[in-house]
Amino acid sequence: MKIGLLTLSFRLDGVGSIKERRSIVKRILAEVDRLGAAFAACEMKEDATLRSLKIRVAHLSGDPRYTESVLTRLERRFERGRGYRLAEAEREII
C-alpha cells in the first residue's frame, strides 16, 4: 500500500476572528471526510496564525499513480473557496 500526503497552506483573507477561522477549518475537513474512508485530514499547528492555515491530507491506495492523480484533483478543488485561497501545496508519496 502507498500513502499519499498532500500539505495545503492557505491564506485566510478577510478572517477577523478565531470563530471565522475555525469555521473554515471545519468546512475543509468535512469536505475531505466526505470523500471516503481512503482519506484522512487534520489541521497542522505549525506556523498557524489567524490568517494562515495548514491542512495535511492523507490518501491510502495500492496504486501510487492513482494516489498522485487523486491528490492533484484535490489540490485543484481547494484552490479557492469562501474565505480562503491556496497559497502553497506539497505532495509526497510514501
Give the model confidence (pLDDT) of 44-91 as tens digits.
987 778 999 999 999 999 999 999 999 999 999 999 888 999 999 999
* Residues contacting 18, CB < 8 A, separation 6+: 50
Q: Phi and psi (nearest 5°) for 51?
A: -110, 15
Q: Which domain holds residue 61?
A: 2-93
Mean pLDDT over 15-44 rounds to: 95
The answer to whether 44 and 56 are in contact (CB under 8 A) is yes
- DSSP label of 89: E
The answer to whether 38 and 61 are in contact (CB under 8 A) is yes
> What cell does 28 get?
475543509
The pLDDT score that the predictor gives to residue 28 is 96
Q: Phi and psi (nearest 5°) for 50?
A: -60, -35
> What cell does 52 get?
494562515
What CATH number should be reported for the domain holding residue 74? Answer: 3.30.70.1120
- The number of folded domains in the chain is 1
The pLDDT score that the predictor gives to residue 91 is 96
